[in-house]
């Protein structure tokens, strides 16, 4: 399902969808589909790669979301350069920016998997002396999957690779990563500490080393096209407090920067756009739908020690990344991954707080087909709250769902019923109301129905899901229709 929404200028214009190619499943019947993992092979057909991203591109366009990050953009197993060109060129023709994931010192390199000189394994097989020393053990060997950022050959290689990527493909930016909390214990990388403030967290010192050459290269590319989204993962939030665990490799999901201003922001000649992890900055527990049904700035959103009101990141340009609603997030409240979960409260909170902290975009995952109604609702909310971060849930229903249903009252009813259901306030009157809406939507698939247009079918899918949810049908949350 693709929507046709009219949107004003976005208040978070550098927003994008974040995806892995192998778990982005808009085509539902390819035998190679998987829904988890990052190091997996790509087992689907190359044609499915193109079709999955054609559909996500159309969705991004209809939501006025600017970009799509693709980790695994270039692989031999889905058609290599030729098929990646198809993906990027189609998106460009629609005004959507494809942003390949680029691992600088880890995560595959520019060419994620395959026989190409800009792939990390290919590079390290030819130049094993460039491998990172990832273990502190004396005599540790150099890795064949991670590169030492101090090696001059690495700097040349990543610079050439980034130039090639932007020259060869119709991309609208990229998304750099270096390997979550990368470390190299070679003499050069350790000696570099002498040239760095002792109080700066080691993981930011490594980030400076791992990103610098790539960002220096991107600088001149950006100067020729300042619409490009050149983003890089910080792997943490922008809370200006000391870390409690000061190690080379902090524990996963570090929320804090460890300092008020990491030194790398004083040293980089070009910063690009820092992509801050908002996953552990947003409230530990999601706000309820009732919390913002009629209040766009409820106090509870600001009752959060991990994101104090008024703090801003030290970067010149910033976006935020939310893992909730993906395979990378686990809900202790529901004892499961939130990949298939409805996360309207998270999206509202992230967009509002990001806007107020001066970020220019937010990203969520875009891997699920919109035939999964919770995903469709998340995408619609992502569109709504990036354009109107101060809006209430009711406004989302009236304006955005109202456009989908071609009826603002029906959109409002929908979110009100959803909020009341979540609050456990389902009474007979509510049941009657939803039955009426459901019956009306259901009439479209009667054999005698004269109008089975796509927009009416879309309406039916939404009401069918909500009707079954409120009626307590088992397993509806995982259902695709």
Task: Using only the alpha carbons of the chain, give its radius of gyration.
Answer: 23
184 binds Zn ion per the rule CB under 5 A: yes
Are 270 and 222 spatial neighbours (Cβ–Cβ below 8 Å)?
yes
Of the residues 186, 287, 368, 434, which one makes contact with Zn ion according to CB under 5 A? 186
**Least separation, in Å, of the C-beta of 275 and Zn ion?**
24
Residue 45 half-sphere exposure toward CB, CA atoms < 13 A: 8
**Least separation, in Å, of the C-beta of 206 and Zn ion?**
9
Backbone phi, then psi, for 173, in 5-degree steps?
150, -160
The label of the residue with tokens 């591109």 reads 57
**Least separation, in Å, of the C-beta of 132 and Zn ion?**
6
Q: Which of residues 27-86 bind Zn ion (CB under 5 A)?
A: none
Choose the binding region for Zn ion from 17-25, 71-79, 108-116, 141-149 (rule: CB under 5 A). Answer: 141-149
Backbone phi, then psi, for 18, in 5-degree steps?
-115, 130
**Least separation, in Å, of the C-beta of 186 and Zn ion?**
3
Nearer to Zn ion, 185 or 253 (CB): 185
210 binds Zn ion per the rule CB under 5 A: no
130 binds Zn ion per the rule CB under 5 A: no
Q: Is the dihedral of CA 311, 259, 15, 395 positive or negative?
A: negative
**Going by C-beta distance under 8 Å and a sequence separation of 6 or more, which residues neighbour residue 191?**
none
**Least separation, in Å, of the C-beta of 145 and Zn ion?**
14
CB-neighbour burial class of residue 195 (10 A; exposed 0-12, middle 13-18, buried 19+)? exposed
How many CB atoms neighbour CB 461 within 10 A?
18
Q: How many residues line the site for Zn ion (CB under 5 A)?
A: 5
Residue 116 half-sphere exposure toward CB, CA atoms < 13 A: 20
Of all helices (H) and strands (E), which one includes residue 232? strand 229-233
Choose the binding region for Zn ion from 144-152, 221-229, 285-293, 426-434 (rule: CB under 5 A). Answer: 144-152
Nearer to Zn ion, 178 or 319 (CB): 178
Q: Which of residues 220-249 bind Zn ion (CB under 5 A)?
A: none
Of the residues 27, 130, 143, 189, which one makes contact with Zn ion according to CB under 5 A? 189
Q: Which of residues 145-174 bind Zn ion (CB under 5 A)?
A: 148, 150
Q: Which of residues 297-336 bind Zn ion (CB under 5 A)?
A: none
Nearer to Zn ion, 25 or 183 (CB): 183
Report d(CA 471, CA 388) in Å as an integer.
32
Nearer to Zn ion, 77 or 213 (CB): 213
Residues that bind Zn ion (CB under 5 A): 148, 150, 184, 186, 189
């Amino acid at each position: 399902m693709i929507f046709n929404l009219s949107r004003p200028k976005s208040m978070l214009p550098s927003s994008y969808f974040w995806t892995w190619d192998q778990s982005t499943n808009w085509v539902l019947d390819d035998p190679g589909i998987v829904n988890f993992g990052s190091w997996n092979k790509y087992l689907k057909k190359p044609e499915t790669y193109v079709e999955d991203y054609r559909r996500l591109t159309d969705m991004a366009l209809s939501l006025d979301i600017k970009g799509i990050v693709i980790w695994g953009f270039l692989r031999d197993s889905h058609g290599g350069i030729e098929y990646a060109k198809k993906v990027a060129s189609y998106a460009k023709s629609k005004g959507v920016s494809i942003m390949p994931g680029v691992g600088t010192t880890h995560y595959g390199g520019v060419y994620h998997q395959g026989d190409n000189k800009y792939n990390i394994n290919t590079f390290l097989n030819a130049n094993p002396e460039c491998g990172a020393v990832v273990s502190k053990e004396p005599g540790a060997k150099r890795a064949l999957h991670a590169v030492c950022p101090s090696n001059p050959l690495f700097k040349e290689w990543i610079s050439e690779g980034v130039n090639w990527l932007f020259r060869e493909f119709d991309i609208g930016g990229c998304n750099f990563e270096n390997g979550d909390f990368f470390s190299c214990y070679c003499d050069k990388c350790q000696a570099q500490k002498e040239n760095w403030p002792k109080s700066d967290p080691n993981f930011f010192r490594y980030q400076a080393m791992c990103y610098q050459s790539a960002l220096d290269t991107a600088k001149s590319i950006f100067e020729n096209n300042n619409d490009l989204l050149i983003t890089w993962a910080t792997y943490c939030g922008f809370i200006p407090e000391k870390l409690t665990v000061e190690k080379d490799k902090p524990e996963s999901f570090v929320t804090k920067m460890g300092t008020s201003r990491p030194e790398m922001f004083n040293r980089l000649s070009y910063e690009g756009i820092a992509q801050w992890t908002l996953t552990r900055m947003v409230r530990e527990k999601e706000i309820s739908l009732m919390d913002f049904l009629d209040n766009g700035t409820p106090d509870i959103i600001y009752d959060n020690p991990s994101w104090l009101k008024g703090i801003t990141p030290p970067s010149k340009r910033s976006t935020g990344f939310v893992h909730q609603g993906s395979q990378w997030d686990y809900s202790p409240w529901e004892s499961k991954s939130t990949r298939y979960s409805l996360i309207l409260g998270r999206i509202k909170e992230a967009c509002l707080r990001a806007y107020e902290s001066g970020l220019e975009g937010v990203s969520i995952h875009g891997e699920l087909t919109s035939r999964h109604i919770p995903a469709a609702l998340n995408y619609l909310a992502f569109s709504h709250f990036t354009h109107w971060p101060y809006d209430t849930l009711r406004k989302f229903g009236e304006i955005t769902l109202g456009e989908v249903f071609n009826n603002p009252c029906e959109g409002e009813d929908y979110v009100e019923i959803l909020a009341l259901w979540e609050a456990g306030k389902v009474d007979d009157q509510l049941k009657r109301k939803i039955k009426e809406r459901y019956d009306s939507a259901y009439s479209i698939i009667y054999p005698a129905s004269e109008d089975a247009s796509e927009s009416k079918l879309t309406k039916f899918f939404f009401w069918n899901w909500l009707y079954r949810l409120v009626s307590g049908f088992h397993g509806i949350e995982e259902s695709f229709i």
